[in-house]
Structure 1
Amino acid sequence: MKQTIILNHPPDFQEVAHSDLRVTYPIRYAHTTYWANATNRYAVQTFDGRYAYIYYYEFWIDTPTTLGLTSIAPDLHLCYPLLSTGAQPITLHEPNAQLALHFQHERASYLYLPNTELTVDLPMGHHIIIGITLDAGLFRPHLERHFEFVMPLVNAKRAVDPVPLQSSDFKIGPLTRTEILNLFSQINPRNMENEYLLVHHQIYLITLSRLKIISETTKINTTIALVDQARAYLELAVSKFGAKALIKDIVKSLQCGHNQLAQLHKEFYGCSLHAYRNQLLLERIIRQLEDYPQQIATLAEQLNFAGHSELNRFFKKLTGKSISHFKKP
């Protein structure tokens, strides 16, 4: 994907060949550079994929400073401030415009940036901002109702609007952080499946952002609403991680007690949350059996089981039949 966001290196900053600081979250196969002046340092990582452009800025700021940022074409971005220890938020300004975009610690948001020059105010502290330039074509017309929180930005890109926009922000929880780090570790341009992987990760992060915004903008003022949120998160986790979908991650995201959530689920739906997770996984196995009718080991790998034996044991425990007998007419 074409690079449309560029951090402008000030003249008093010099590239450092052998920095004593290293990026906190390295991106596999990314292009990485380090820059420093008398008091401040920062690192830039970029990865150019066919369907996504990933950029990573890490700043070690001892003296508050302002850097320039250029958006060379109108584009849609998903931004994750994974870390910001400053007393003030990082702020993005468009010169001569009454507009300021704010980035809070662990609060993600979507951005639409037109072709423009911007400045970034960096307070004293340690900051990490990760951005993914998205293909706006992912948001097809039939999905507009589901992703209405980002559609004003998508429409602005389509119309080449000259004014930047920022969506409502949402919390970066353990599921999001884990997914970002999984993406960083799995990128491999030498693999033909790399572009599929990039799209797959993007779709998961976008879907997860929808659940985050729904949970934050819709007050969970009833126990059934809390349980339904947990079921939605669990459905997404099983669709992404298969056998590695963990209820404890859902509990962390919803910031509730494990025992309380399990008890409420059983009260409203008549089964344990663990049983619901297993039922979702079983349904996914049955759906994908059509794709791998004679390749059980491949199916096990796709669903993150340790091997075909573990997959078969799980299947037999829930259905009373082995996979081979289940497939027979």
Structure 2
Amino acid sequence: MQSKSFHLIETNMCLLAGSTPTKSIKERLPGSRKRLFYNSSIKIFEEYLSIGNLESYSYIVEVATHTAINFQVHNPQTHLLYHIDGRRAVRYGQSQSCEEYLFPPHQGVFLYVPETIINVYFEPGNYHLQGFNLPVDLIELGELAEFGFLTEIIATNKLKPRQYKASIGFIASQHTRRILRDLTIELGSKPLIPKIRILRKIEDLLYLCKDKLLIAGRQLYDPDLIVQQARLLISKRIAESDDLVRIKNIANALNIQPSYLSYLHKERFGIAIMKYRNQELLKKAKVCLRQNNSIKMSTIVCGFKNESSFCNFFKKQTGLTPSSYLLGTTTPEE
């Protein structure tokens, strides 16, 4: 399978006898690990997965000498990249520019990359880099409307098409590492994982990134913004996922304690955040029941483990069993 966005074209090892280029690597195997190059001085492995227009890639690099890896970028694109493992920073730059950037261990970065050749430099050691080529429609079609700051940065960089620009750098905190670890495990064990689940986890990372930027700029979230973002996440996940939305996961996505989030929501709206979650979930349950006329299907779509749990939830919220609700519903609600 030929990659649509970029591929490794050459590796140069700085040996005593001079640079030794490897062969050009142009093929990728989706959903599998591939050995790109292997000898006593350098080992490069790639894991690549393409789902629609979303690409996930992971590079394991072990080098015994100073090494440069060159990538051909076929079209302008946006990346979310993590330096998961390694004791030394990775240097990277663009062939047409003398400017270089440092990518420290255990940090993440958003990159806008024009059509170019990227040079990545490694000191002797072991490295693990995990990246995602974000689909254009994720940003341009407003799926993540809260992240206009990222769109602005990308738009600014597009005015300088020959410059390679590190858009946003941030520390891979405990929360980001957890999300990335879970996502990497899912990608490795489930090559056909639904795209929406990947995008939802990337959305979590975007929220954490935005949080880091605001803290760095001393623009700490005020309580209203925190609870508004929590409500947005709850409603989006209930609408887009068949998993049961849990408040602790929402709090983790916003990088705050669940108890603090609950306190802020109660102060702002006068009701528990769990009650708001239940209100949104009940809306979905009613729509599912009216559309499918099936308690079993509604149980699955709403994220409950069994019909008994779903029926108990529905009756507690409405005073009616799902069956009674269906019998009393003659026309769709407004």
- When the two structures are superposed, what TM-score results if normalisation uses the length of structure 1? 0.74
Query: Residue 320 in 1 paired to residue 322 in 2?
Result: no
- CA distance change for structure 1 residues 40 and 163 in 2, over 3 Å: closer, same or farther? same
Identity %: 18
Shift in Å at residue 252 of structure 1?
3.6
- CA distance change for structure 1 residues 258 and 139 in 2, over 3 Å: closer, same or farther? closer
Using CA pairs under 8 Å that are at least 6 residues apart, name the structure with larger relative contact order, 1 or 2.
1
User: Match of 1:150?
Assistant: 150
Preserved contact between residue 243 and residue 303 of structure 1 (Cα < 8 Å) = yes
1:1-50 residue CA offsets vs partner (Å, 9 max, x unmatched): 843221245376999xxxxxxxxxxx983253264332443321122344
- CA distance change for structure 1 residues 160 and 187 in 2, over 3 Å: closer, same or farther? farther
* 1:174 pairs with one of 166, 178, 188: 178
How many positions carry a matched residue from both structures? Answer: 307
User: Match of 2:207?
Assistant: 211
Answer with 1 or 2: which has the greater Rg.
2
User: Match of 1:95?
Assistant: 95
User: Match of 1:37?
Assistant: 39
Distance in 2 (CA, whole Å) between partners of 1:59 and 1:49 is 24
Question: What secondary structure, in the 3-state scheme, does the structure 2 residue paired with 1:130 have?
Answer: strand
Shift in Å at residue 229 of structure 1?
4.2
Shift in Å at residue 57 of structure 1?
0.8
Question: What secondary structure, in the 3-state scheme, does the structure 2 residue paired with 1:276 have?
Answer: helix
Give the counterpart letter for 1:56 in structure 2: S
Query: Residue 187 in 1 paired to residue 208 in 2?
Result: no
Query: Residue 284 in 1 paired to residue 284 in 2?
Result: yes
Query: Counterparts of 1:30-179 in structure 2 under 5 Å?
Result: 30-33=32-35, 35-61=37-63, 63=64, 65-81=66-82, 83-86=84-87, 88-140=88-140, 146-152=146-152, 155=155, 161-170=161-170, 171=172, 172=176, 174-179=178-183
Query: Structure 2 stretches of 5 or more lacking a match?
Result: 13-19, 24-28
Give the counterpart letter for 1:245 in structure 2: V
- CA distance change for structure 1 residues 144 and 133 in 2, over 3 Å: closer, same or farther? closer
Preserved contact between residue 30 and residue 46 of structure 1 (Cα < 8 Å) = yes
Preserved contact between residue 157 and residue 165 of structure 2 (Cα < 8 Å) = no
Distance in 2 (CA, whole Å) between partners of 1:240 and 1:182 is 18
Preserved contact between residue 227 and residue 261 of structure 2 (Cα < 8 Å) = yes
Preserved contact between residue 84 and residue 125 of structure 1 (Cα < 8 Å) = no
Question: What secondary structure, in the 3-state scheme, does the structure 2 residue paired with 1:93 have?
Answer: strand
Shift in Å at residue 83 of structure 1?
0.9
1:157-208 residue CA offsets vs partner (Å, 9 max, x unmatched): 98892322332234425345434533443323xxxxx7xx23x245424543
Question: Please, which moves more after superposition, 231-240 or 300-309?
Answer: 231-240
Shift in Å at residue 298 of structure 1?
3.1
Shift in Å at residue 249 of structure 1?
2.9
Question: What secondary structure, in the 3-state scheme, does the structure 2 residue paired with 1:7 have?
Answer: strand
Preserved contact between residue 89 and residue 103 of structure 1 (Cα < 8 Å) = yes
- When the two structures are superposed, what TM-score results if normalisation uses the length of structure 2? 0.73
Shift in Å at residue 112 of structure 1?
2.5
Distance in 2 (CA, whole Å) between partners of 1:85 and 1:225 is 36
- CA distance change for structure 1 residues 301 and 158 in 2, over 3 Å: closer, same or farther? farther
Give the counterpart letter for 1:79 in structure 2: L
